[in-house]
């Protein structure tokens, strides 16, 4: 245990045990709870970040909830029948001789126990009080542990920590930039970095070889439980590598973090192609803690009489014991939900015990021929008591909807099922083709296409969707932790990509001129990765909401109830910046 003594305290509240009986100690902290005991005595639970200790004081002292105090006295064993074995310090108490009130306190704005559910805005407005809760203490300390394990992991492998600037020109991550107006050049703006992408690649041109940074990234996007305007990434880049080298390096740092928190080192992370992930899990970030995989049924329904299954693709999932688990109302709600997700419908059937083995019943069962029924049962390995759900549609829609349905029906709680890391590889280079025929890149435009697919880059239109890229994601329990790629270091390939993306000569110069120029001076083959520390910490801490692992987060609407950011600035300041605020659009 670390020595945390100071000139004011000899011990930490939560560390005192029966072994300390007889010692005179001084502890400092906040009054957690007060109970009167008879006429003259009171029990005060004094709390610091290590826990609470019971202090016996004279009841005449005015010690209220959250007062800050220093208590000095002898540690003694509690009488046997009053020991509290649920508490680390439950066998002892301090017989207080001297009390020093270090600060008085207003009554706390909300109770600090873990049971009371407090509105998040109120928690964030008084975050300094909220941080005293053991949950927040634990989460922030877990976060620090992860940061230091990750740092160590990178340094052990020769990565050099380099800080890149916050005030920059735009980065090509594809989200909206936060901008900062320039006073010296009114009408011009800096962008805050969406990532250090361009700088880290320039570090490779600069011979750094292995760069890393625990970097703050800013993206002006709508917030969700797993997203904040500003977030932290472990950002890394390395030279003379292929994607396996990047996996080894990042895997080492992530395994360090997981081990630091859980005590177990995860084994080598498996890999799955993007296509396989889509086909089997209907997602590019599959949660592989549970089965319920999407099963291909298209060939069973080739030439089917049943209208609902006359579609380019049919897949199904099986819910074990679904007949018991789901009411008719719940099933109807699922059908509606799937329609909202974009499917024409959701076909469901119960599996019952028929005369000669399992059979399909209810729902759309009557539309299936006997051969189709038994083929579906076989393909899904269904047994009586299961529910089966089928979607027939365009392949893209089938995967998407069944992927979401699978999560809806089977996803375990965040802290169950262990940590299942997974590399997703061979992403498509382009997401879709826009109406004007221009492909939409899946990542930033410096992502290297798969070498086997370079030939396809000469094509146009839909054929381009076949091009795979050398980019990859790291997924943990259904969350995308981060992504990276091998970068383009050849100007012919880069030019072709710009051409395909419709980024003309002028725009290239304006946006990336400095970057393209740098590559004329000898750019090594390189690649890298970035993963979100907030998400990793949240998962390791068993939290679903990343705000629980950030000391001072913004609310879902992007506001900070503590400091009232964002706030207005005065007219003089605006003048200096050459800015005028327009009245709100009506
Ligand atoms: N800069 C990318 C991102 O932030 C990651 C990478 O390609 O290294 O998503």
Residue 329: which CATH number? 3.30.1360.30
Residues 90, 154 share a domain:
no
Residues 307, 207 share a domain:
no
pLDDT-derived band at 81, boundaries 50, 70, 90: confident
Q: For residue 233, which atom of ligand 1 is closest to its CA? A: 4
* 3 state DSSP class of 414: coil
Structural domain includes residue 124 = no
Spatial contact of 197 and 175, defined as CB atoms under 8 Å apart:
no
What is the whole-number distance in angstroms between the Cα of residue 84 and the centre of ligand 1?
A: 51
Check whether 445 has a pLDDT greater than 80: yes
Structural domain includes residue 114 = no
* 254/276 Cα distance (integer angstroms): 24
Q: pLDDT tens, 82-115?
A: 888 888 899 999 999 999 999 999 999 999 987 8
Mutate-to-test residue for ligand 1 from 444, 447, 531, highest number of ligand atoms within 8 A of CB: 444
- Using a 6 Å cutoff on CB, does residue 29 contact ligand 1? no
Structural domain includes residue 3 = no
What is the whole-number distance in angstroms between the Cα of residue 194 and the centre of ligand 1?
A: 9
Residues 434, 397 share a domain:
no
Average pLDDT estimate for 508-529 = 92
Residues 518, 460 share a domain:
yes
Structural domain includes residue 285 = no
Domain end position, chosen among 491, 522, 553: 522
- Using a 6 Å cutoff on CB, does residue 485 contact ligand 1? yes
Structural domain includes residue 129 = no
Vertex 62 angle, CA 61 and 67, to 5°? 120
Q: Which residues contact 374 (CB under 8 A, 6 or more apart)?
A: 357
Q: For residue 447, which atom of ligand 1 is closest to its CA? A: 7
Domain that holds residue 58: 13-103
Omega of the bond leading into 566 within 30 degrees of 0 (cis) = yes
SS (H, E, C) 191-229: ECCCCCHHHHHHHHHCCCCEEEEEEEEECCCCCECCECC
Check whether 77 has a pLDDT greater than 90: yes
Atom 6, ligand 1: which residue's CA is nearest?
484
pTM here is: 0.91
Atom 9, ligand 1: which residue's CA is nearest?
483
What is the whole-number distance in angstroms between the Cα of residue 521 and the centre of ligand 1?
A: 23
Residues 340, 220 share a domain:
no
Rounded to 10 deg, the angle between the 505-518 and 491-500 helix axes is 150
Spatial contact of 318 and 388, defined as CB atoms under 8 Å apart:
yes
**Residue (of 417, 413, 363) closest to 390 by Cα position:** 363
Q: What was the pLDDT predicted at 222?
A: 87
Q: Residue 231 sits in a domain of what CATH number?
A: 3.30.930.10
- Using a 6 Å cutoff on CB, does residue 239 contact ligand 1? no
Check whether 227 has a pLDDT greater than 90: no
What is the whole-number distance in angstroms between the Cα of residue 395 and the centre of ligand 1?
A: 29
Q: pLDDT tens, 449-473?
A: 999 998 899 988 888 999 999 999 9
- Per DSSP, 363 falls in state T
What is the whole-number distance in angstroms between the Cα of residue 435 and the centre of ligand 1?
A: 27
- Using a 6 Å cutoff on CB, does residue 348 contact ligand 1? no
Residues 300, 243 share a domain:
no
Q: What was the pLDDT predicted at 80?
A: 80
**Residue (of 6, 10, 105, 89) closest to 54 by Cα position:** 89
Structural domain includes residue 45 = yes
Check whether 173 has a pLDDT greater than 80: no
Q: For residue 200, which atom of ligand 1 is closest to its CA? A: 8
* 389/247 Cα distance (integer angstroms): 36
Mean pLDDT over the full length of the chain: 94
Domain end position, chosen among 410, 445, 470: 410
Q: pLDDT tens, 402-436?
A: 999 999 999 999 888 889 999 999 999 999 999 88
Q: What was the pLDDT predicted at 478?
A: 94
Residues 500, 448 share a domain:
yes
Q: Residue 47 sits in a domain of what CATH number?
A: 2.40.50.140
Residue entry with tokens 């006997």: 370
Residues 426, 319 share a domain:
no
**Residue (of 487, 513, 534) closest to 211 by Cα position:** 487
Q: pLDDT tens, 359-373?
A: 889 888 889 899 999
Q: pLDDT tens, 22-53?
A: 999 999 999 999 999 888 999 999 999 999 99
Residues 300, 253 share a domain:
no
Q: pLDDT tens, 127-147?
A: 999 999 999 999 999 999 999
Residues 256, 159 share a domain:
yes
Residue entry with tokens 């090509």: 172
Q: pLDDT tens, 58-72?
A: 988 899 999 999 999
Q: How many domains does the chain have?
A: 4
Residues 544, 507 share a domain:
no
Highest mean pLDDT among 37-51, 160-174, 220-234: 37-51
* 54/43 Cα distance (integer angstroms): 6
Phi, psi for 552 (deg, rounded to 5): -130, 75
Structural domain includes residue 383 = yes
pLDDT-derived band at 521, boundaries 50, 70, 90: very high
Structural domain includes residue 8 = no
Average pLDDT estimate for 265-278 = 95
Q: What was the pLDDT predicted at 61?
A: 87
pLDDT-derived band at 6, boundaries 50, 70, 90: very high
Contacts 24+ apart (CB under 8 A), 428-431: 428/274, 428/465, 428/466, 428/467, 428/468, 428/469, 429/453, 429/464, 429/467, 429/468, 429/469, 429/471, 430/464, 430/465, 430/467
Domain end position, chosen among 468, 493, 522: 522
Please classify residue 184 by burial: count the beta carbons closer than 10 Å to its beta carbon, then call 0-12 exposed, 13-18 middle and 19+ buried. Answer: exposed
Residues 258, 316 share a domain:
no
């Amino acid at each position: 245990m670390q020595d945390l003594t100071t000139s004011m305290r000899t011990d930490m509240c939560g560390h005192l045990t029966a072994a300390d009986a007889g010692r005179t100690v001084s502890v400092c902290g906040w009054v957690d709870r007060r109970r009167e005991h008879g006429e003259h005595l009171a029990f005060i639970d004094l709390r610091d970040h290590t826990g609470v200790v019971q202090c016996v004081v004279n009841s005449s002292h005015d010690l209220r909830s959250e007062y800050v105090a220093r208590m000095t006295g002898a540690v003694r064993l509690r009488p046997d029948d009053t020991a509290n074995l649920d508490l680390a310090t439950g066998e002892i108490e301090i017989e207080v001789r001297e009390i020093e009130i270090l600060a008085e306190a207003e009554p706390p704005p909300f109770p600090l126990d873990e049971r009371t559910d407090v509105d998040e805005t109120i928690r964030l407005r008084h975050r300094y009080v909220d941080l005293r809760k053991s949950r927040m203490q634990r989460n922030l300390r877990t976060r620090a542990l992860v940061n230091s394990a990750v740092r160590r992991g990178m340094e052990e492998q020769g990565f050099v920590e380099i800080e890149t600037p916050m005030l920059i020109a735009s980065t090509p991550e594809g989200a909206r930039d936060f901008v900062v107006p320039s006073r010296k050049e009114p009408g011009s703006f800096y962008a805050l970095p969406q990532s250090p992408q361009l700088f880290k690649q320039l570090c490779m041109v600069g011979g750094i070889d292995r760069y890393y940074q625990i970097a703050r990234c800013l993206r002006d996007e709508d917030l969700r439980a797993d997203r904040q305007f500003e977030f932290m990434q472990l950002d890394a880049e390395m030279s003379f590598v292929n994607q396996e080298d990047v996996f080894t390096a990042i895997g080492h740092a992530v395994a360090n973090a997981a081990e630091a928190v859980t005590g177990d080192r995860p084994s080598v992370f498996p890999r799955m192609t993007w296509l396989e992930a889509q086909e089997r899990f209907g997602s590019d970030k599959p949660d592989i803690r549970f089965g319920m995989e999407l099963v291909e049924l298209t060939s069973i329904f080739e030439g089917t009489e049943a209208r609902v299954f006359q579609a380019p693709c049919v897949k199904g999932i099986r819910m074990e014991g679904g007949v018991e688990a789901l009411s008719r109302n719940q099933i109807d709600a699922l059908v509606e939900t799937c329609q909202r997700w974009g499917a024409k419908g959701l076909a469901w059937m119960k599996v019952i015990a028929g005369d000669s083995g399992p059979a399909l019943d209810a729902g759309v069962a009557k539309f299936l021929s006997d051969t189709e029924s038994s083929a579906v049962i076989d393909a899904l390995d269904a047994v009586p008591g299961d529910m089966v759900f089928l979607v027939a549609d365009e392949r893209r829609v089938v995967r998407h909807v069944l992927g979401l349905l699978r999560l809806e029906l089977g996803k375990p709680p965040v802290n169950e099922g262990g940590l299942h890391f997974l590399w997703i590889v061979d992403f498509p280079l382009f997401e879709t083709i826009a109406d004007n025929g221009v492909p939409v890149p899946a990542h930033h435009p410096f992502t290297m296409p798969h070498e086997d697919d370079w030939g396809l880059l000469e094509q146009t239109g839909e054929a381009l969707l076949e091009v795979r890229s050398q980019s990859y994601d790291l997924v943990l329990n259904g969350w995308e932790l981060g992504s990276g790629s091998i970068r383009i270091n050849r100007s012919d390939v880069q030019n072709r990509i710009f051409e395909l993306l419709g980024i003309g000569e002028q725009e290239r110069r304006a946006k990336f001129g400095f970057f393209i120029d740098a590559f004329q001076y000898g750019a090594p083959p390189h690649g890298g990765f970035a993963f979100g520390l907030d998400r990793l910490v949240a998962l390791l801490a068993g939290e679903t909401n990343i705000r629980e692992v950030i000391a001072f987060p913004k609310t879902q609407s992007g506001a900070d109830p503590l400091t009232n950011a964002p706030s207005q600035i005065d007219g003089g300041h605006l003048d200096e910046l050459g800015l005028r605020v327009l009245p709100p659009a009506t």
